[in-house]
Amino acid sequence: MVKNLMNFFSLINAAIQRQQVEVSVKLCSQTLLILVYLRNHNYINGFIRHKNGRDCTVLLNYIEGRPVLKQIIPVSTPGRRVFCSMFSLKLFLSRNAKKGPVNHSPYNMPLIFAKGRLYSAVECLRQWHGGEVLCTIAS
């Protein structure tokens, strides 16, 4: 499953560099969670699941010829899982707050997988739990 996730990140990043409108990827439970998160936060226009249920087509979002999603940076890899605690999340958010508003930073908050769901760092602080850091989204 982690191999599919790394393949998903590389396919999306390659499609963004080539300025493709759509890209076909294989689905697993975590890629589906990431796609729903990206769609809900307007990084992608949407995704279309194929009839076989294992593949889908991702529709990338562009504004005035520039991609909304610049890059997906994997943090956890198959050989090295990265977990974060509440203390490290607080430290991360306080350092970003000193640099300026979070919305104007070049990188958004990392996506954290915990309890079978995908959370941003702010949502993890609200619900008071840590988890595995899957990736960071550059916008």
* E strands in the chain: 22-26, 44-49, 55-60, 62-63, 66-67, 71-74, 83-84, 107-114, 117-120, 131-138
pLDDT for the residue 134: 87
Straight-line distance from the first to the last Cα atom of the chain, in angstroms, rounded to the nearest whole number: 26
The tens digit of pLDDT for each residue in 18-54 reads 999 999 999 988 899 999 999 998 999 999 999 888 8
The tens digit of pLDDT for each residue in 74-106 reads 888 878 888 888 888 888 777 766 655 545 455
Residue 59, SS3 per DSSP: strand
pLDDT for the residue 133: 87
Residues recorded for the chain: 139
Where do the domains of the chain lie, and which CATH numbers do they carry?
2-138 (3.30.1370.30)
* Whether the Cβ atoms of residue 69 and residue 38 lie closer than 8 Å to each other: yes
